[in-house]
Structure 1
Amino acid sequence: MLTSRAAILALVMCVIALSLAYPLREYIAQRAQLAELREERARMEQSVQDLRRREEEMTQDSYVEREARVRLHYQYPGETAYIVIPPDSEDEDEDDTGPSEPWFTALWRSVEEADDPPSGDGL
């Protein structure tokens, strides 16, 4: 009689453990997902702050003037703009020459050479 009670108790304990396993697993997964979402939210808030700071910077007249001068090369009336062009070096000229013949000429030559096997005791 004692063994049947122990078996029933073990069976009840297994049922309880199995019924709690799935909700516990879901709880742990949701906690991990919640932590990831909090990190993403913090990153998004930082991004929003950066964009607001950038927007505030872009509305200032000094920023607009600086960008107009640097990017668009605008000048005030009466000012003279100078653009300094660096001298060409000899190394850059060598790199710009490229191949002596176009790629399709080399391709066609290789096709013609493949069509004419070398004379001799080859296979």
Structure 2
Amino acid sequence: MRSLSTGQTILIGFLLLFLVLTLTMPLRTYAQQRADLAETRDNIARMEARIAQLEKEKELYSNPAYIREQARLRLGLIKPGETPFRILDPTLGQQHENSDQQVQRKNDKAWYAALWDSISVPPQPETTVSNPGREQATKPESLPTVPDPEAPQEGQQ
């Protein structure tokens, strides 16, 4: 074996570096394409599962009983002779007047004062607004009752 000169060693080093750099890009591209292929396969599997779910739902809609149930739930339709009930909450449309005042008061402060207050002042517990309509509606004496068919009615004995 003969020893290599310095120029030959540098030339072999550059050749190896060139080969490594030349092979890096195709290997990176190959790895990226494999990852894309795996992601695409996962997407296909997810889409096939979604298609199966939609097919099941489609079969449900071929059942007239299911269609009636959905019409009752989603659209609020009722059968002839039924009595619909709609319970309204009287506090739904009300706004809290004090919250608007608190927001205005916070906006009047400088940013550093508001920041310091948010750290140093403990938050006030939120006050719940009493709902007299709900309280009245949930009293036992105001709930509807169904008469007992076996109990004798007034006038019968």
Common fold, TM-score beyond 0.5?
yes
1:4-62 C-alpha deviation (Å, 9 max, x unpaired): 33222212211211110110111111122122212211211111111101001111122
Q: Distance in 2 between matches of 1:40 and 1:48?
A: 12
- Please give the secondary structure, in 2, of the residue aligned with 1:2: coil
Q: 1:74 to 1:9 in 2, by over 3 A?
A: same
Query: Which protein, 1 or 2, shows the higher relative CO under an 8 Å CA cutoff with sep ≥ 6?
Result: 2
Gaps of at least 5 residues in structure 1 are: 100-123
- Please give the secondary structure, in 1, of the residue aligned with 2:85: coil
1:94-118 C-alpha deviation (Å, 9 max, x unpaired): 816x98xxxxxxxxxxxxxxxxxxx
Query: Which position in structure 1 is the counterpart of 2:84?
Result: 83
Gaps of at least 5 residues in structure 2 are: 98-157
Q: How big is the alpha-carbon RMSD for the aligned residues of Structure 1 and Structure 2?
A: 2.7
Query: Which position in structure 1 is the counterpart of 2:4?
Result: 2
**Superposition pairs of residues 46-65 of structure 1, within 5 angstroms:** 46-65=49-68
Residue 87 of structure 1 and its aligned partner are, at CA, apart by 5.7
Which TM-score applies when normalising by structure 1? 0.61
Query: Which position in structure 1 is the counterpart of 2:39?
Result: 36
The residue identity in structure 1 corresponding to 2:83 is: Y
Aligned length: 93
1:38-94 C-alpha deviation (Å, 9 max, x unpaired): 22112111111111010011111221222334425142xxx41111232654xx188
More helix, by proportion: 1
Query: Which position in structure 1 is the counterpart of 2:77?
Result: 73
